[in-house]
Structure 1
Amino acid sequence: MATPPNAADLLAANRLRPGAFAGLPQGLRPADAAAGRRLQDAVHQRLSAAGLGPRVGWKIGCTTPVMQRFLGIPEPCEGGIFQANVQPSPGRFAAAAHHRLGVECEIAVRIGRDLPPGPHDRASVAAVVEAVLPAIEVVDDRYADFAALGAPTLLADDFFQAGCVLGAPVADWRGLDLAALSGRMLVDGVEVGRGHGRDVLGHPLAALAWLATTLGTRGRGLMAGETVLLGSLVQTQWIGPGAHVAIEIEALGRVEMTA
């Protein structure tokens, strides 16, 4: 008899062949965030083995009021980013290869040296940031009804993560007021949203400190070379085949992709 699939198998299979995933069977659903993170670890192992390569960074979701209202989740959640799904600008993520393709406007950071596990604040995480860069996070609503899944399952599935397009890194970033930077998103040349760095937990590096502290509860730290997307400045925009997306973040630059 075939072995019944477990929760990690089901989530990984849907990630690799996106469709209208109805959710995990009742007995396989993670009960809380801690269980969701344990399941996330197992999903990551399967995705790496299936060809996505190593996890090379993190995304943080629900760091801005607009996204918390949109998703109905009042606190941040983290997800992994895999090597195969990272592209330089201009990038291309085909809408046809996804269930419901979305894009977000992000400030990202690149980690320059390892940060050990433990509680962290803005100052301690700033010390290891090598560069700041603009980014488009690519997300996929690969569910029949994401609101019915519950936050722990969304967390286990990396919170809609599907990839990212990265702009040029800005190494001389310490003179910038990251909280004051404005960003906007354009779809087919039309502005569809605008926000500021301060919308991300009051300061983009507050989101990074949240991630570092949360990883510390799992015995992990941030690692040199990792890229972290800190949260969308604007509400997710769902796009169709052929759409052209651009984001512009003050002092950081422009990133583009097509679907």
Structure 2
Amino acid sequence: MTPDEHKAAGRALFEAERDGRQIGLLSLAHPGMSLDDAYAVQAALVAHRKEAGRRVIGWKIGLTSRAMQDALKIDTPDSGVLFDDMLFEDGAEIPAGRFIQPRIEAEIAFLMKAPVSGGDVTREAVLDATEAVAPSLEILDTRILRADPATGKARVITDTISDNAANAGIVLGRQRHDPRAVDLRWAGAIVKRDGVVEETGLGAGVLDDPVTGIVWLVRRLAQYGQGLAAGEVVLSGSFVRPVEAPPGSRFDADFGGFGAVSVSFAKA
């Protein structure tokens, strides 16, 4: 893809989000699209959101589980940017029509107290820079069709990355924990939709340790001269499959001693 094509795709995604509609698969429109192309499109989308007055508050890591990587035939996670209008309080009700096709994932959020960067960052450096960890839910959405209606071709990793890693919202639980005092590999959740258990999982589903996800992100950002800043929130990756969130649904994630978090979606 050319720089002009990156910008055009970023604008198309921005307008799709603004207007509550979906665009066609970028991977079909640009068959030779690379991961670098996808992140360039994401950067163009992020630039439009900043120009519209939105403020960056952190990052999300996606595709950390083996099952999701196998499904997309990749061997690496992806990342996206969190903005201030994506943050919802625990127990919030999402207004009808806010998202196109929302889904929910359970994750452990890292709250950063100090900057951390560098291609050789260590696990210890990440822990030193982390103020606390907290239970959270990520709201996913897609401004790109999940599948092309004419060919049946499903979206691929370049589509997802371009679309800000399908990022749409974050719901933070109220509980805060010292990351060194909790074995995050065993921090898990029971996720219910409308009172019915839909998914369960453990932090170990995220690259064997959620901290590993943060290390991966810092090293990836270092390739672009970036890093994590103090005060940012980082979603470390889901340890459950995405669960559809239709209008009128309610989600409760029970993390046991680690905490709890909930969100509901208003009826259409």
Common fold: TM-score over 0.5:
yes
Return the alpha-carbon distance in structure 1 between the equivalents of residues 104 and 246 of structure 2. 11
Task: Note the aligned Cα RMSD (angstroms).
Answer: 2.2
**Deviation per residue, 1:100-134 (Å, 9 max, x gap):** 11000111101110113332232221110111001
Return the alpha-carbon distance in structure 2 between the equivalents of residues 235 and 70 of structure 1. 12
- Which of 236, 239, 255 is equivalent to 1:233? 239
Residue segments in structure 2 that go unaligned for 5+ positions in a row: 148-152
Residue segments in structure 1 that go unaligned for 5+ positions in a row: none
Deviation of residue 220 (structure 1)? 0.4
Match of 2:150 in 1: none
Superposed counterparts of 1:53-64, under 5 Å: 53-64=54-65
Match of 1:219 in 2: 225
Tell me the TM-score normalised to structure 2 length.
Answer: 0.87
Superposed counterparts of 1:121-140, under 5 Å: 121-140=122-141
Match of 2:114 in 1: 113
Return the alpha-carbon distance in structure 2 between the equivalents of residues 254 and 29 of structure 1. 43
Match of 2:97 in 1: 96
**Deviation per residue, 1:227-258 (Å, 9 max, x gap):** 01111111000121110101122332111100
- Which of 170, 173, 176 is equivalent to 2:182? 176
**Deviation per residue, 1:20-40 (Å, 9 max, x gap):** 321338666772112222221
Instruction: Report the AA paired with residue 188 of structure 2.
Output: S
Return the alpha-carbon distance in structure 1 between the equivalents of residues 57 and 32 of structure 2. 25
CA 1:28–1:67 in structure 2 vs 1: closer, same or farther (change >3 Å)? closer
Return the alpha-carbon distance in structure 2 between the equivalents of residues 130 and 178 of structure 1. 15
Instruction: Report the AA paired with residue 47 of structure 1.
Output: R
Tell me the TM-score normalised to structure 1 length.
Answer: 0.90
Superposed counterparts of 1:1-259, under 5 Å: 6-24=8-26, 31-51=33-53, 53-94=54-95, 96-146=97-147, 148-259=154-265
Deviation of residue 12 (structure 1)? 1.0
Deviation of residue 207 (structure 1)? 0.5
Return the alpha-carbon distance in structure 1 between the equivalents of residues 64 and 96 of structure 2. 26
Secondary structure of residue in 1 paired with 2:165:
coil
Q: Is the 8 A contact 2:12 2:23 kept in 1?
A: no
